[in-house]
Amino acid sequence: PTVSVIGLGYIGLPTAAIVARSGCHVLGIDVTPHVVDTVNSGHVHIEELDLDALVQAVVARGTLRASLTVEPADVFVIAVPTPFKDDHAPDTRFVLDAARTIAPVLKVGDTIILESTSPVGTTEQLRDLIAELRPDLRVPGRGGDGVDLSIAYCPERVLPGRILHELVVNDRCIGGITPRCARKAMAFYRRFVRGQCITTSARVAEMVKLTENAFRDVNIAFANELSIVADTMQLDVWEVIRLANLHPRVNILSPGPGVGGHCIAVDPWFIVHSDPDNTPLIRTAREVNDRKSDHVVERASALLAAMPDVPVACLGLAFKANIDDFRESPAVKVAATLAQKHGDRIRVVEPYASALPAAFDGTGAELTDIDTAIETCPIFIVLVDHDIFRSVPLSERATKLVYDTRGIWPDQPVTIDGGARA
C-alpha cells in the first residue's frame, strides 16, 4: 500500500521511516517547510537514536518523501500534537485540521488511523468531520455499515530515546470505529510490528493511552510526595524507597525535581477535563508533581543562602536522563528560577545543549562543562540523572555541598535529598 503520515514530529517521522523500511511507499506531510526540506535531503530535525541513518537510507532508496501538500494514499496515519489550552482543556485542533487536509484526496477503501494522544471521542469526531466533508463516501459506524472508509485509533506508546526499537517490539492496541475498521488497521501494523496487535473500540483505545500516562503520573506523584515528607522527617527517601521495594508487591518509582515531557505532564488533564467531579486523585497527582519543582527551588535556595557568593552547578536541563529534549522540563524550570534570583552564580552543565534556553536570557547564568564545574563549583544541584553525571566518582565530589534530586550519588557524605545526610 501507499502510506501518508501527517505530522513529521517525534512520532510521525520515526513511524514514516519504519513503514518505508518495510517496503511501503511513504509520503510524510508537514506544515513546516524546513521539516519537509530537511527530510527530503535525507536528514532529520529531531534527535533520536539511529533515526538519521534510517531516514537517510529510506530517502535514498526512494521509499520516503516529504511534502507540504497531501496526495492520495491507501493508508493515512495522523500523528500531530494535541496540546492543552490554558484551562487544561484538550486542544484537538491539529487533529481536525489533519482530517480537513486529507478529506479531498480520500477514496473508497482507504484507511485512516489516528495516533495522536486524544480525549475519548476524538476519533468519532474525526469520522463525523470526514462524513460532513465527503458526503459521497459511506463512513463507518453512523447507522448502516459504511464500508467505504476504515477509521481507527491506535496510540503510540514509545519511549523517547528508544523509539525505533519500541515502535517495532511494543504491543499495539488498535481501536476501530467498527470491528471491521480495527481489522483493516491491524493489517497495516502487522507489516512492521513484532509485538501483539490487539483490537478494541476506538473509545477504549483512546482511554487506554490516557490511562497509561495517568498511571505513571500518579505513581511518580506518590514518590515525590514521599520525598517531601522524608525531607521534613529528616529521613533519606532513597533508603526508604529501596527498603520498601524489597516487599514483593511494592514498587515505588523515583522522586525527582518534578515531571516533564509533553505526555505525562499533559495527558492526565484530558481525563480530569472529561470528568472533573470524579478525578480528585489524578488531578492531585498532577498538582503534587508540579509542586515538587517549587519545593526543589525552595530547598536549593536555602542551600545557596548557606554559602553565599560561591558558584553553583546545576546539573542537567533535559526532562529526563540521556536525551536532548528540554520541553516542559522541570530541570529547566528549577535552574532558570534559581538563575533569575541568583543570576551569575549559576553554572548550568548540560552536555546535550549547545546554548542555554531562552528562559535563562538576561540572568547572567552560564553554560559550562562537567570538568569545569568540578574544578570551580562548591555547590552541586543534580536535576537530571544523565549517565555522565552518575559516573562522577566520590573522589571528585566528596567536598561538595550536594542537593541530589535524582538520587544518583548514594555515597555522597554531605547532601540534601531527604535530609538525613545533610
Counting beta carbons within 10 angstroms of the beta carbon of residue 74, is it exposed (0 to 12), middle (13 to 18) or buried (19 or more)? Answer: middle
From CA 79, how far away is CA 94, in angstroms rounded?
A: 9
Counting beta carbons within 10 angstroms of the beta carbon of residue 126, is it exposed (0 to 12), middle (13 to 18) or buried (19 or more)? Answer: buried
C-alpha cell at 321: 536522563
Handedness of CA 133, 135, 139, 142 (dihedral sign): positive
Give me the least distance between CB of 391 and ligand SAJ, in Å please: 18
> Is 263 among the residues known to form the active site?
yes
Active-site hit among 209, 292, 320, 333: 209
The nearer residue to ligand SAJ, 196 or 395, going by C-beta atoms, is 196
The nearer residue to ligand SAJ, 189 or 319, going by C-beta atoms, is 319
Contact 50, 164 (CB under 8 A): yes
The nearer residue to ligand SAJ, 73 or 158, going by C-beta atoms, is 158
The nearer residue to ligand SAJ, 75 or 264, going by C-beta atoms, is 264
Give me the least distance between CB of 160 and ligand SAJ, in Å please: 5
Give me the least distance between CB of 213 and ligand SAJ, in Å please: 5
Contact 403, 410 (CB under 8 A): no
Active-site hit among 154, 173, 263, 377: 263
- Residues engaged in binding ligand SAJ (CB under 6 A): 117, 156-160, 212-213, 216, 220, 253-254, 256, 259-261, 263-264, 319-320
> Is 209 among the residues known to form the active site?
yes
Map grid coordinates 521495594 to a residue.
245
Give me the least distance between CB of 264 and ligand SAJ, in Å please: 4
Half-sphere exposure of 351 (CA within 13 A, CB side): 13
Give me the least distance between CB of 223 and ligand SAJ, in Å please: 6
Give me the least distance between CB of 312 and ligand SAJ, in Å please: 21
Give me the least distance between CB of 106 and ligand SAJ, in Å please: 27
Map grid coordinates 533569575 to a residue.
340
The nearer residue to ligand SAJ, 188 or 319, going by C-beta atoms, is 319
C-alpha cell at 325: 529534549
The nearer residue to ligand SAJ, 184 or 333, going by C-beta atoms, is 333
The nearer residue to ligand SAJ, 74 or 324, going by C-beta atoms, is 324
Active site residues: 209, 263
